[in-house]
Amino acid sequence: MSSSSKSYIKLAWVRCIRDAEPLDTLESIQRYVRCQIFCLMDSTLFTDKSTAYAHAKYLLLLRDFELIHTYSWASVCLVHLYRALCCASRYDTKEMDGCARTMTVPSSG
């Protein structure tokens, strides 16, 4: 974690909130879905080297439940991938971040 770790949220805490939801009202179902999407954002869409924390900036995307389906998720994922590839192309980089790792081809020898 960096010095700006207060902008990260522990995913175990989010999962705990998600799993405690009673799912008996529309509001609790939406809260459950927001938690699930937030976990998916970090583990699938916008992965990085941390598997225990997710950046709080993604919470803003989940603020208005009615708009979530209108976002261009593929475009955002592509931007994230290009940014990760740009960072990985620096001469002093020793490992790749997130989805850029999926672009690597294992050697056969």
What are the tens digits of pLDDT across the range 90-99? 888 777 665 5
Kindly tell me if the per-residue pLDDT of 20 is higher than 90: yes
Residue 108 lies in a domain: no
Residue 98 confidence (pLDDT): 59
Residue 37 lies in a domain: yes
Q: Classify 9 as helix, strand or coil.
A: strand
**Number of domains present in the structure of the chain:** 1
Q: Mean pLDDT across the stretch 19-39?
A: 94
Residue 109 lies in a domain: no
Environment class of residue 46 by beta-carbon count within 10 Å: exposed (0-12), middle (13-18) or buried (19+)?
A: buried
Residue 36 lies in a domain: yes
Q: Mean pLDDT across the stretch 49-58?
A: 85
- Global pTM value: 0.73
Scanning 41-98, the segments in alpha helix (DSSP H) are 73-88
How many contiguous H segments (helices) and E segments (strands) does the chain have?
A: 3, 2
The residue segments making up the domain with residue 58 are 5-103
Q: Mean pLDDT across the stretch 48-75?
A: 88
Residue 1 confidence (pLDDT): 47
